[in-house]
Structure 1
Amino acid sequence: MKEILMFVQAGCPHCKRALKWHEALTAKFHPEWAQVPLRIVDEEVEKELADAHDYYYVPTYYVDGVKIHEGPVTQQDVEKVFAAAMSAE
C-alpha cells in the first residue's frame, strides 16, 4: 500500500469534510483503510513542503507522488484516493 499525502489548510470547510469522509468510510465500509499511511500537511505550517508540490486548492491528495485529487471532495473522490493507495505497487 502507498502513502497518501494530503495538503490542508486550517479552517478550510472542504478539508474538514474530506476528513469526515475518511472517518465515516473507514468506520462503516473500509476498515482496511485504517492501515493506509496518511500524512496530513497543513500548508501554512509546512510551507516548504507545500511549495514543493504543484497544486492550488485544498484539500489536495498525492498518492506515491502523483496528484490524485485537488479541491472540494465528494465521497467518490475519497474512495478514489484510497483505492489508488491500496493498489498494487
Structure 2
Amino acid sequence: MKEIFMITLEKCPYCKEAFDYIHELKKENPNYEQLNITVIDEQKEPEKIQGFNYYYVPTFYVEDIKAHEGVPSKEIIQKVLDSALE
C-alpha cells in the first residue's frame, strides 16, 4: 500500500468536495479505509509542501507521483485511491 499526500486549503470548495468523495468512497469500499492519507494545508504547514510541484488544490500525490491536481470528481478520486492500493 502506498501513502497518499493531499495538499489542500482550508476554504477551498474543491478540497471540501474531494473530502466528501473520499468519505463516500470509503463507505462503498472498505479497502479504502486502510489507506494512509496525509493531508497538508499549504497555508498552515508551508514547510511540508516543499518539493511538491503543483499549482491548484486539491492536489494528490501517491508516494512521489502526482496523481491529480485541481477540480476533483468521484471517478478521479477513486483512481487515486486505487493507485495507492496497488
Shift of 1:72: 0.7
Consecutive unaligned residues of structure 1, counting only runs of 5 or more, are none
Structure 1 runs (4+) deviating above 3 angstroms are: none
Shift of 1:54: 0.2
The TM-score normalised by the length of structure 1 is 0.93
* Aligned length, in residue pairs: 86
Q: Percent identity?
A: 37
Partner residue in 2 for 1:3: 3
Shift of 1:41: 0.4
DSSP-derived class of the 1:84 partner: helix
Shift of 1:31: 1.0
Consecutive unaligned residues of structure 2, counting only runs of 5 or more, are none
Shift of 1:2: 0.5
CA distance in 2 between counterparts of 1:45 and 1:56 reads 17
Q: Are residue 66 (structure 1) and residue 65 (structure 2) matched?
A: yes
CA distance in 2 between counterparts of 1:39 and 1:10 reads 15
Aligned 1:1-89 pairs, distance under 5 A? 1-27=1-27, 29-87=28-86
CA RMSD of aligned residues (A): 0.8
The TM-score normalised by the length of structure 2 is 0.96
Deviations 1:19-63 (A, max 9, x none): 000001111x21110110110000111102223210000000000
DSSP-derived class of the 2:39 partner: strand
